[in-house]
Amino acid sequence: MAYEEPKYQVIEKSGTFELRAYSPVIVAETLVDGSMDEAGKKGFRLIAGYIFGNNKSNLGGSEKISMTVPVVMAPKSEKISMTVPISMQGNAGKWRMYFVMPSKYTLDTLPVPNNSAVKLREVPAKNYAVLLFSGSSSEEKIAKKTEELLSWLQAKQIKPSGSPELARYNAPWTLPFLRRNEVMVEYE
């Protein structure tokens, strides 16, 4: 089943590395505590609840919103000092998870979340450096891929300007070798 993805333009591609220019998007996000795995499950449930109808539609009642990919997880802080190596560790166990909303919606036309833990926010156009990989997205593998991405940026003399983010594109039951994952970091 094909899901809508955020629109972007590839600026440069080198193997599994890409520099991308993303268009503005609207996200439904939540902040959660715990280990990366615990926070991922909790955050997913909260936002999935919103898109599956735990909301108040402008037309009355609730509305189901189409699923999109990827599901993105990042440390809570927006800006951190970048050093190598780095891992996807939340800020004191705090994580931000978000789903990009389908492009047909605006902030005015999206249903309002019933759960106050789910917030809607417009994200401006941004540039991201991305490393694509398949398989599992264990904390150890993510740390390794993040280090590879930051090393690639350093070699290109490109300065990261945000926290690393993990983007997952497949359901948990997808066979690992078929999974599409990305480590992303905003850059200047």
pLDDT digits (tens, 9 = 90+) for 122-151: 999 999 999 999 998 888 999 999 999 999
DSSP structural state of residue 47 = H
Q: Where are the domains of the chain?
A: 8-186
173 class by beta-carbon count within 10 Å (0-12 exposed, 13-18 middle, 19+ buried) = exposed
Q: Look at residues 80, 88, 68, 101 and name the one whose alpha carbon lies nearest to residue 131.
A: 88
By the 8 A CB rule, do 186 and 128 touch?
yes
Alpha carbon distance 72, 59 (integer Å) = 29
CA atoms within 13 A on the CB side of 118: 28
CATH code for the part of the protein at 8-186: 3.20.80.10
Least trusted range by pLDDT, from 58-67, 69-78, 176-185: 69-78
Type and span of the H or E element at 13: strand 8-14
What residue type is 147 in one-letter code?
A: E
83 pLDDT above the threshold of 50 = no
Q: What is the structure's pLDDT at 91?
A: 53
Q: What is the structure's pLDDT at 1?
A: 57
Q: Enumerate residues 6+ apart whose C-beta is below 8 A from 68.
A: 3, 4, 5, 6, 99, 100, 101, 102
Q: What is the structure's pLDDT at 78?
A: 45
How many angstroms separate the Cα of 137 from the Cα of each of 13, 19, 60, 151, 182? 22, 21, 39, 19, 9
Q: Look at residues 140, 186, 183 and name the one whose alpha carbon lies nearest to residue 16.
A: 183
Confidence of residue 111 (pLDDT cuts 50, 70, 90): very high
121 pLDDT above the threshold of 90 = yes
